[in-house]
Each structure stands twice: as C-alpha cells, then as structure tokens.
Chains A and B, each alone.
Chain A
Amino acid sequence: MQLTGRLTGERGRLKLEAKRIEAPLHDDDILSLKAGDNVLISGVIYTARDAAHKKFIELIDKKAELPLDLKGQIIYYVGPTPARPGQVIGSAGPTTSGRMDAYTPRMLENGMKACIGKGLRSSEVKEALQEHKGIYLAAVGGAGALLSKKIKKCEVVAYPELGPEAVHRLEVEDFPATVINDAYGNDLYAEGAKAYAR
C-alpha cells in the first residue's frame, strides 16, 4: 500500500512514490529524507508511549541501562489492542505524539533517530531533530487494522505491567509512514495546509 508523496511544486503537486528504509537507521538515511517523503520501513522498531518514556528518562537520569539500545532506533508511539488468537498483534495505529514532546529531545540525545506518531510537535522537538539528525514520521492515525498487517512479529521486551503501554519489539515489513519534520527544519503540516488553504 502506497502512502503519500512529496511536495514538489505549487499547490502540492505530488510524486506518489515511497522510499524503502531499513531500521535501525543511520545518519545517511536521515539526511536523504525530506518532509513530505513517503517511506516504507522494514526491520526492527520498538514501541513506547507516555509511561515507558517516563521510565526511560528516569533511567537515563540515573545513568542506568535501558531495556533497549536506543542507537539508531525508530520508536513507534502505539498502544495496540490485544491480539486475537492467531494474530500477531491487534489494531496498531499511531497515538498523538505531542504527549511525548517533553521526553523526545532527551531520547534523540541518547541515540534515537526517528519516531512515528501523529500530530504536531513542539519547537523544542523540531530543533532537537535538526541538532541530532533525526526525523519525525507520521503513520495514518486511525488506520490501526491496516497497519497491523505490516507487523510480522511482536514481543513485549519491557514493562509488561503497563499493558498496552508496554515496550514491544516489532518486526515490520513495508510499514508506511510520511516524513513530517526532517533534519533540515522542514514541516509538512505547515507546508501542506498552505498549499490547500483558500
């Protein structure tokens, strides 16, 4: 399933194509992506929401070891529904990213390269993305059933007591997302609306 395209001209003329990227990411991957690009992600990514972020930052403050190595990682903001028997995972779309704003600059400082969610980010997060060469991606919010089919393996690796907020290791194949904020300070939310406002 293809997602969106890249803003290449006036009034949002689009090239509907997607770039394939492998997770975890390197600086080269980040620098090749611009706001408005579609990506199809394959490889290993990790989930974390509000509660797990709070715990990560507490561990970082104590200089203790995290349950995963953040270097190059993509963190997906998601709290899935329970899987039915025979399913890998339940519905698994992105949650609102703004709630993670307070933690994101610290996560980037400690090696995280990208996060997937939906919705607006703070200016601090956008600056941190430029400083640490990171990107912010959006998956289609409310497409949890469709996105769940791109997840081939799922296991809880930390904080099972948090239920849907536990940290999961996901193996994904062609998981569709769109670059919202790139490492150059571009912002699709601002540019996209400008192109279609009347």
Chain B
Amino acid sequence: MRDLAASTVTETVAEMCKEANIYLGDDVSGALRRSLEEEESPTGQEVLKQLIANLEIAAKEQIPICQDTGFAVFFVEVGQEVHLTGGGLTEAINAGVKKGYTEGYLRKSIVDDPLYDRKNTGDNTPAVIYTDIVPGDKLKISFAPKGGGSENMSAVKMLKPADGEEGLIDFVVNHVKLAGPNPCPPIVVGVGIGGTFDRVAVLAKKALFRPVGQPHSDIKFADLEKRILKKINDLGVGPQGFGGRIFALAVHIETFPSHIASLAAAVNINCHASRHVERII
C-alpha cells in the first residue's frame, strides 16, 4: 500500500480548477486555430478570431475563458494500492473545488435544492465524481468544468437494435441540429453507445474528456466519428450559429457492451471552451 495524504488531493484539485478555467488546452486551441483556416464564412472567421483573442486575454490577464466556470466534474481512477490518509476522497475533492473556485475568482454556479429554494451553495460544491478502481498505487484525476448552457443540450435515447447505424446517426445529428446556436458552437460532441440508460450518459460525458480530435481506438468507430462530424458541419450552422462550415470541432464516441434487447445512445455537448485537465499523483 502507498499512503497518500488527502490534503495532497485537495491541493491538486484546487490547482486543476484554476488552471482549467483560465488556460484552454493545446488540443482545443489548436483545433480552433485549424478551424479558422477551414471556415469559409467571413462571419464565422470573425467569431473564431474573437475566440482565439479571448484565450490570449484570459491567459494574460487571469480572467476565466468563460463566465460559466461550470459544474465540477471528475473521473478518478483510484489505484487499489492507494491508501488515503487524513480524510476521505469525496471530501478531499470537494475541499479542493471550494478552495480552487474561491481563490481563483471563479463563479459559483451550484444551487443546493434543485427544485424549490435553489439557494447557491456559495463554493461551487458538491462536485460530480465518478470513480473507477484500477490496479496500481496512483490516483489519476481528470477534471472538467462543465458549462450549463451546453449541458442543457443533452439527450438519451433507448434505440432499438434494428435502428442500427442509421438510427444512431439520425439521433445524434438531429439532436445537435435542434441544439443549434445554444451550446456555443463550434462544439465538441460526446456520444455514448451501449450499456444501460445511466451508463450511456456517463459514456457521453467521458467522451468529452478525450483530447479533441483524438480518434476512437477502434477504426470502425473512428470512421463513424468522422462521418457524423461531416454531417453535423454540413448543417451550415457554423460558429455561434451565425452560419458557416464549422459547427463542430470533433465528435467523440465511447462505447460499452449492450443488452440483447437494447441500443442505448446519448449525446452530451461541450462548447468551444472544452476545458479538461488531468493529473496523476
């Protein structure tokens, strides 16, 4: 067993919250720069230029890229030989979120009672945390601040196995078309296929943690990602929905085995500020 202090987790998480909201990863900023070369619409080009300028101002002046600094979402791979000392994992992560969002002048966007009082918790906790137990003695923490505007444009559909590839493509493309300008295009589209009703939604979320543009490891799904991306961009919605060729920067698919009676599908959309960071401790 390897001892790991809960306070180390808290400090790491606090730094991740601050970093992710101010510096966009090279994967996404690179994709934005490349898309500027491909965009045909002058309107779309101007939007992309503003977004690139926005990243430079954010980094230089330490202003969050977007005012929606998100719901704090974590995927944590916990090595089974890690022994956390001085506190539990969930509390340690939430303490890190509180510290990071307070010290980093980030917006606190979480309300306690979702239906009635909707009172702000004041520190952006609680976080949404998924854990996997894996071999080893390390903790791998992946964090994404997930904006509400793009999150609201999500969907799950229990397709019939007979719907097949065509049904899946129609579901994704029609849903993204319906979302239109709302999720701040150019977007990243996370698609979950397989598993149960709950698992497929988590797959779609997990797909957004993959570096933008890195294809699925299975060639069949990598090819499907490419074809869906083309169909989405052919809608003409473009940057910010003002019309143009770049509606989406990437489509990422994650899959899981399926019940013989089911073909579960989910779409989770991220805006162009597709923020995600990763640390191994």
Chain A interfacial positions (CB closer than 8 Å to B): 1-5, 7, 12, 14, 16, 51, 78-84, 87, 90-93, 95-96, 98, 118-120, 138, 140-146, 148-149, 163-164, 176, 178, 188-189, 191-198
Contacts and interface: CB of A to CB of B under 8 A. Distances in A.
Contact of B236 (A120, A144, A198): A198
A163 B54 CA distance: 24
Contact of B51 (A140, A191, A193): A140
B243 to A, nearest CB: 2
16 contacts: A5-B46, A12-B41, A14-B41, A16-B46, A79-B107, A79-B109, A90-B64, A95-B67, A96-B149, A144-B68, A145-B54, A145-B58, A145-B64, A189-B181, A193-B236, A195-B243
A197 B40 CA distance: 12
B53 A1 contact: yes
Contact of B66 (A51, A84, A138, A142): A142
Given A140-B240, A193-B241, 5 more contacts: A14-B41, A90-B64, A91-B67, A145-B64, A192-B241
A82 B107 contact: yes
A91 B65 contact: yes
Contacts of A98: 182
Contacts of A82: 105-107
Interface residues of B, number: 52
Interface in B51-79: 51, 53-55, 57-58, 61-69
B184 A90 contact: no
Contact of B182 (A83, A90, A96, A188): A96
B273 interface: yes
Interface of B: 40-44, 46-47, 50-51, 53-55, 57-58, 61-69, 105-109, 118, 120, 122, 148-149, 152, 180-182, 184, 234-238, 240-245, 271-273
B108 A119 contact: no
Given A4-B47, A142-B184, A189 B149 contact: no
List the 9 closest pairs (A to B, CB-CB), nearest first. A192-B243, A197-B236, A196-B236, A141-B184, A119-B182, A4-B43, A145-B58, A91-B64, A145-B63
Contacts of B273: 142
Most buried by A among B55, B57, B234: B57
B61 A145 contact: yes
A87 to B, nearest CB: 7
B120 to A, nearest CB: 5
Nearest to B64: A91
Nearest to A188: B242
A196 B238 contact: yes
B43 A142 contact: no
Contacts of A149: 57
Given A138-B181, A142-B184, A142-B273, A1 B50 contact: yes
B194 to A, nearest CB: 30
Contacts of A84: 62-63, 105
Given A81-B106, A82-B107, A120-B181, A198 B234 contact: yes
